[in-house]
Structure 1
Amino acid sequence: MVVTNTREMVLIVEDDAALRLAMTKVLRAAGYRIEVARTGDEGLEMALADPPDVVLLDVMLPGKNGFEVLAALRHRDADLPIVMITAKGEEADKVRGLELGADEYVVKPVGVAELQARVGAALRRKRLLVKSGPVAVGVLTVDFAQHTASREGVPVELTAHEMKLLVFFLRNEGALLPRERILAAVWGADYFGTDRTVDNFVNRLRAKVEKDPKNPLHLVTIRGAGYRFSRTPHRLEGR
């Protein structure tokens, strides 16, 4: 077993006592601090009072169900890593959870290796710090600490919101990101913007990141759903 020694805190929201204990033992042995909640209401209250580094959230819970908790947390914090736990074969649960903003999924029965991998993947995205030095994104190279960017060696100006949008995409690389979640993360949950606000900024960012903005390989539209970002150039569904 790989021990992280990170002391990052994982909040487990699960009403099954045996599963809750098993997950606690596995993640605590891996070096995480653990808090547990037995109901959706308790989990939501704990997450808002003392935000964890990642939430493990069961779908079927007493009180508020996992989807209600997920929606409430996403309204307050668009970047909090949330890993949903669902029953085997419940494809509809996965789709609904992803649409509401879940980052990862674990299917019951939960395997030790998969549990650690899912938690680790969610946290790696969160650890993507702006102090990590220049980052290559398509044809753009960005130094977030210096707030500078260049396109194939030529300086490029990025606005504060474009920088923030790019950081959000990097932290959520590979995830399907609805426009509502992007708007809440970059502009704030109380900002009265629209989908068009997001689309306009994405188009501006594409013009700087993509070699051919009309045929994007990194920042792709998923029709009817939102956007998906990848630093690896490959065509995804949408355009």
Structure 2
Amino acid sequence: MSEERGLVLVVEDEAAIVELERLYLSGAGFGVHVEGDGREALAAVERLRPAAIVLDVGIPGLDGIEVCRALRARDDWTPVIFVTARDDEVDRVLGLELGADDYLTKPFSPRELVARVKGMVRRAAGPVAAPTRTVGGVRIDGARRRVDTDAGRVELTATEFDLLDRLMSQPGRVFTREQLLSSVWGVADYSSSRTVDVHIAQLRVKLGDAAGIVRTVRGVGYSVADEG
């Protein structure tokens, strides 16, 4: 099994889904390790140090939400993509504070799963060099992948960081959801733009009093305030 891109931990208890995920992820150059139980998954993360985790919410033992919560509580920021059974679970699952990087709802395209995992691993690695930007009291240090506001440090996932960095790269420019999907997630043909909306909501919650720099342009997309 190839592991050119790193190891992906798949946490899933449905055999048919496991085999589909294993087939496509390994075909894309990832090593794949599977666990069907939340507690075993936590032990596997500690033991294997995967590049990314594909985490089903409804696993037995310790559910996916608690697995992600436990990882972030021990300051483990391995990229996590939630797999959920229903779209209306998304806000509850991501919870705005759990630190998930992305999500997919069943049924999903295995090719889209691979694209999302590739994007998470790429974002977690970070750019070779990136500038420092400041807009409206929000300071983003690309080299250290750090965000600060007047209230202090803001802990962002790799996806949230890249989303904010993209918006701040051109203050005042309005980015469509499709443009953000393409530049941040690396795929332009998603069937739904809800991914962007959910992550913008996460970002605003974490920015707190500075959230006003992220503006919704109705019917178009998002921008950050142009201080110039």
Question: Normalising by structure 1, what TM-score?
Answer: 0.59
Does residue 1:172 correspond to 2:152, yes or no?
no
Which of 61, 64, 74 is residue 62 of structure 2 equivalent to? 64
Q: Deviations over 1:139-197 (max 9, x none)?
A: 7896738xxxxxxxxxxxxxx995xx589576633669xxxxxxxxxxxxxxxxxxxxx
Match of 1:235 in 2: 215
- CA contact under 8 A between 2:79 and 2:121: conserved in structure 1? yes
Name structure 2 gaps, 5 residues minimum. Answer: 173-199, 217-221
Match of 1:133 in 2: 129
Q: Deviations over 1:69-88 (max 9, x none)?
A: 11111112352100000113
Tell me the SS of whatever aligns to 1:172.
helix
Residues 127 and 49 from structure 1, CA distance in 2 versus in 1: closer, same or farther, beyond 3 angstroms? same
Residue 56 of structure 1 deviates from its aligned partner by 0.4
State which structure, 1 or 2, has the greater radius of gyration over its C-alpha atoms.
1
When the two structures are aligned, how many residues end up with a matched partner?
Answer: 175
Match of 1:226 in 2: 206
Match of 1:84 in 2: 82
Question: Normalising by structure 2, what TM-score?
Answer: 0.61
Name structure 1 gaps, 5 residues minimum. Answer: 146-159, 177-208, 213-219
Residues 87 and 175 from structure 1, CA distance in 2 versus in 1: closer, same or farther, beyond 3 angstroms? farther
Residue 124 of structure 1 deviates from its aligned partner by 1.8
- CA contact under 8 A between 2:11 and 2:41: conserved in structure 1? yes
Does residue 1:13 correspond to 2:11, yes or no?
yes
Tell me the SS of whatever aligns to 2:61.
coil
Identity %: 29
Residues 46 and 36 from structure 1, CA distance in 2 versus in 1: closer, same or farther, beyond 3 angstroms? same
Match of 2:143 in 1: 144
Residue 37 of structure 1 deviates from its aligned partner by 0.2
Tell me the SS of whatever aligns to 1:235.
strand
Tell me the SS of whatever aligns to 2:44.
helix
Give 1:80-229 correspondences, 5 Å limit: 80-89=78-87, 91=88, 93-99=89-95, 100-129=98-127, 132-135=128-131, 137-138=133-134, 144=143, 172-173=160-161, 225-227=205-207
**Comparing 13-22 and 112-121, the one that deviates more:** 112-121
- CA contact under 8 A between 2:8 and 2:54: conserved in structure 1? yes
Tell me the SS of whatever aligns to 1:114.
helix
Residues 98 and 5 from structure 1, CA distance in 2 versus in 1: closer, same or farther, beyond 3 angstroms? same
Partners of 1:141 and 1:65 lie apart in 2 by 34
Residue 27 of structure 1 deviates from its aligned partner by 0.2
Backbone CA RMSD of aligned residues: 4.1
Match of 1:153 in 2: none
Partners of 2:160 and 2:204 lie apart in 1 by 19
Equivalent residue letter for 1:111: S
Partners of 1:78 and 1:137 lie apart in 2 by 26
Match of 2:197 in 1: none
